[in-house]
């Protein structure tokens, strides 16, 4: 792979069509409102290219008949392609990288400036040589604007050049191969036209959700800073509008083309309609260089609070960490605040999981909450605004309270597939992933952790408390009492593992007493009771009255939380679920010899007419998730509350046991294992961290990253440094640290925001330094191991390890 990494730049130095899909996902540009993949401007969605533009929360629902079954899917819509810009010399073909002789190539993503650049020198079939330099941005400060600049130089030819600038609404959803048999035509053309001499606009609407989008584009040609007088011809096709610009050019003389684009939708605030807004905005927008200056400034401000700096560290590790932060901020930026959108597991970068919201926010929020808590608050409101849908989903399953769906889209309905295609066997097989009830516990956990980090009592009182109560009601209703055990049980669910959907040789889906689910249910019930105790008496009384919660119900929650069953086997091993120990051991070595990559073991076994339900083989962390979410002290307290003894050796035994039985079929798996191993021995797990760090940039799952980045895994790699190696925890109105760097790192520097206070943190192998930069109150409590200090603004403390 011809790739170079610098501290802030990812550079590809060769044109490789086979890697283009991966590069387009990794080099996507966005601003929390829209994200556009890093496809070349001249490329259509064919062969190695897939230009895609996605709107935060922009979904549409379609039906497809598969056999005798009608499948309904809600998809993240691929909106019109605003990129199209191409050229041809007289008597020549339109520029196509796959049809020319590439003499030199450079493709650069600058994550510090949010800028995508390409440089290519090529020779066409008529032996005419050109150099093309392109720059592109999706504006972070003005989220409705985007811009392209082309600088084109003919080296051995003069004559007439034709330039075509277009907006293409004829696109479909075709990013994910296994979805391509499903209906994918989401857009209807509503209108298109010309605005003055140099601008075009296109309006489309989704066929079911009726979201309307207008794109307007202004294309101009320059000689230096002077406008070039050109001839323009309209080209209006079905679902696509373009302008043909005829430009004289001279040998060795560069011409510059700017395409400025405005994008508005019917979901936007403070507009009368998208078309009017887009046409006005594209007229008011400045030049490419002017937009770049304000765009760079906004990114500089974001990096000032978001960067994780590794002084004297490995350059590649530094760049990949920054690439991960870059994509986090492109998916969920300050522009997302007050937008009705959640955090998609694959970013707004592709069509995998149909852009749905899963539990990945559990792994993403820690980074955001400790930098931009206002953003986390807004994203939590995505869940709160769908509380009624979660209540309805619970009622449909004969439960009480609120049960959140495993996959959520526009309105909070369950969007999980009922069947999915195994690409190895070509068969459609049942999909039981909606049985992952633990997503409701993740929602509760996220609300509580936001409060711990911010002290936002208003939010906890009026949103968080209601969520925790309704989720607790759900857990209390799904738990059943087993008199023989004198314990409560939760039956018929799936855990995070996902390979295990039921018991061997049975047709009934679901597992009993998944340990992670039961422990998280107990935690939620206990947390809800504690939260109610934080409310002032009037608010507590009003909330319980509004929700019709009786004192007897609260007593039952406490009883259930203390008596939920957790299965164990083999001297302190927490069983992933009841009956796990009865399963067969899997032949890991044999299958690795046979197949090499066995990450997606479920697909391999199904293609062999076998079933992963028969084996002690997991896709990703399940029991070990408990050691990711909670410290040893927290787990000890929780297990003892549930009536089980707990010691730190239990953690080590469980880690050793499950690490040997996991295929890592999810990108989250490697980083969660790295986290829990680092907690057990923070100095020793650098290789596993490196594997997790490279999961997307190297596409270790062999084709999944082109369908969308893995945002949860990206966030986790940053969070391992942010919280894992600093030992950062939030307890009792205090921010506590217990730092220990892996031996491969000599220095980390970062900023965190805790309860309105901005802190600078620096860690070396021998020292930990914290500075109280500024805050909304004069003091903050900082814990360093067993010490507690109250720090004032402007104060710095250094602790020796």
Residues labelled catalytic: 498
* Distance from C-alpha of 146 to C-alpha of 143, rounded to nearest angstrom: 8
* Distance from C-alpha of 485 to C-alpha of 477, rounded to nearest angstrom: 18
Q: 567 in helix, strand or coil?
A: coil
What crossing angle do the helices spanning 686-693 and 667-680 adopt, rounded to 10°? 160
**Which secondary structure element, helix H or strand E, spans residue 410, and what is its range?**
none
Q: Which residue do the tokens 């939920």 mark?
A: 564
Residue 146 CA, distance from chain mean position: 22
CB neighbour burial string for 352-369, b if at least 16 within 10 angstroms, e if fewer: bbbbbbbbbbbbbbbbbb
DSSP labels for 770-787? EEEEEESSSEEEEEETTE
Q: Which residue do the tokens 């943190």 mark?
A: 761
- At CB < 8 A and 24+ separation, what contacts does 123-126 make? 124/89, 124/92, 124/93, 124/100, 125/92, 125/93, 125/99, 125/100, 126/89, 126/91, 126/92
| Contact between residue 102 and residue 120 where contact means Cβ atoms under 8 Å apart | yes
Q: Which residue do the tokens 């039981």 mark?
A: 432
- Which of 52, 249, 20, 277 minimizes the C-alpha distance to 150? 249
Tokens matching residue 17: 């069509």
* Distance from C-alpha of 295 to C-alpha of 138, rounded to nearest angstrom: 8
* Distance from C-alpha of 561 to C-alpha of 441, rounded to nearest angstrom: 13
CB neighbour burial string for 16-38, b if at least 16 within 10 angstroms, e if fewer: beebbbbbbbbbbbbbbbbbbbb
Tokens matching residue 295: 């765009």
CB-CB neighbours of 691 under 10 Å: 16
């Amino acid at each position: 792979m011809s790739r170079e990494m610098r501290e802030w730049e990812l550079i590809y130095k060769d044109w490789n069509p086979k890697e283009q899909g991966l590069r387009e996902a990794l080099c996507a540009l966005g601003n929390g409102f829209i994200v556009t993949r890093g496809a070349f401007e001249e490329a259509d969605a064919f062969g190695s290219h897939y230009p895609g533009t996605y709107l935060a929360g922009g979904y549409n629902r379609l039906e497809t008949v598969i056999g005798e079954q009608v499948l309904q899917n809600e998809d993240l819509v691929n909106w019109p392609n605003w990129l199209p810009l191409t050229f041809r010399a007289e008597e020549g073909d339109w520029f196509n990288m796959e049809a020319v002789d590439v003499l030199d190539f450079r493709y650069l993503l600058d994550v510090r400036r949010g800028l995508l650049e390409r440089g290519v020198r090529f020779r066409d079939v008529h032996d005419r040589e050109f150099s093309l330099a392109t720059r592109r941005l999706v504006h972070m400060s003005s989220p409705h604007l985007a811009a392209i600049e082309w600088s084109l130089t003919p080296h051995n030819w003069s004559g007439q050049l034709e330039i075509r600038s277009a907006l293409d609404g004829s696109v479909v959803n075709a990013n994910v191969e296994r979805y391509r048999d499903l209906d994918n035509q989401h857009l209807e053309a509503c209108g298109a036209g010309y605005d003055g001499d140099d601008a075009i606009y296109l309006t489309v609407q989704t066929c079911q959700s009726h979201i309307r989008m207008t794109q307007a584009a202004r294309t101009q040609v320059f000689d230096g800073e002077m406008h070039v007088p050109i001839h323009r011809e309209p080209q209006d096709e079905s679902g696509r509008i373009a302008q043909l610009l005829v430009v004289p050019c001279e040998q060795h003389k560069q011409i510059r083309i700017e395409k400025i684009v405005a994008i508005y939708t019917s979901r936007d605030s403070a507009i009368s309609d998208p078309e009017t807004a887009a046409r006005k905005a594209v007229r008011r927008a400045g030049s490419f260089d002017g937009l770049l200056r304000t765009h760079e400034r906004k990114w500089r401000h974001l990096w000032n609070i978001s960067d994780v700096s590794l002084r004297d560290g490995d350059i590649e590790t530094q760049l990949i960490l920054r690439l991960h932060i870059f994509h986090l901020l492109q998916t969920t930026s300050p522009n997302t605040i007050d937008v009705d959108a959640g955090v998609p597991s694959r970013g707004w970068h592709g069509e995998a999981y149909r852009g749905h919201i899963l539990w990945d926010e559990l792994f993403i929020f820690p980074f955001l909450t400790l930098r931009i808590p206002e953003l986390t608050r807004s994203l939590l409101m995505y869940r709160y605004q769908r509380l009624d849908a979660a209540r309805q989903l619970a009622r449909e399953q004969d439960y009480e309270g609120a049960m959140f769906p495993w996959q959520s889209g526009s309105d909070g309905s369950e969007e999980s597939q009922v069947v999915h295609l195994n690409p190895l066997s070509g068969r459609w097989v049942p999909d039981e992933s909606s049985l992952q009830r633990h997503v409701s516990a993740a929602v509760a956990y996220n609300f509580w952790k936001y409060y711990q980090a911010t002290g936002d009592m208003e939010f906890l009182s009026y949103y968080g408390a209601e969520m925790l109560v309704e989720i607790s009601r759900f857990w209390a209703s799904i738990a059943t009492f087993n008199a023989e055990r004198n314990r409560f049980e939760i039956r018929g669910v799936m855990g995070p593992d996902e390979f295990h959907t039921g018991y061997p040789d049975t047709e009934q889906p679901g597992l009993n007493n998944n340990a992670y689910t039961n422990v998280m249910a107990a935690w939620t019930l206990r947390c809800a009771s504690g939260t109610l105790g934080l409310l002032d008496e009037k608010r507590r009384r009003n909330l319980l009255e509004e929700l019709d919660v009786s004192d007897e119900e609260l007593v039952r929650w406490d009883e259930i939380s203390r008596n939920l069953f957790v299965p164990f086997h083999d001297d302190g091993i927490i069983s992933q679920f009841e009956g796990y120990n009865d399963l067969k051991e899997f032949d890991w070595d044999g299958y690795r010899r046979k197949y090499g990559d066995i990450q997606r073991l479920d697909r391999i076994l199904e293609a062999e007419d076998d079933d992963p339900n028969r084996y002690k083989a997991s896709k990703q962390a399940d029991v070990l998730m408990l050691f990711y979410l909670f410290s040893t002290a927290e787990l000890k307290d929780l297990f003892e509350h549930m009536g089980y003894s707990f010691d730190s050796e239990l953690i080590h035994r469980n880690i050793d046991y499950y690490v040997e039985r996991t295929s890592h079929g999810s990108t989250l798996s490697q980083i969660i294992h790295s986290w829990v191993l680092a907690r057990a021995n923070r100095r020793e797990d650098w290789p596993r961290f490196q594997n997790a760090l490279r999961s997307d940039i190297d596409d270790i799952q062999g084709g999944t990253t082109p369908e969308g980045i893995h945002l949860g895994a990206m966030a986790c790699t940053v969070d391992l440094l942010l919280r894992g190696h600093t030992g950062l925890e939030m307890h009792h109105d205090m921010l506590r640290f217990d730092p220990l760097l892996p031996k491969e790192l000599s220095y980390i520097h970062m900023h965190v925001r805790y309860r309105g206070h901005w802190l600078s943190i620096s860690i070396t192998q021998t020292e930990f330094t914290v500075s109280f930069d500024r805050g909304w109150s004069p003091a903050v409590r900082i814990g360093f191991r067993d010490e507690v200090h109250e720090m004032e603004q402007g104060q710095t403390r250094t602790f020796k390890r």
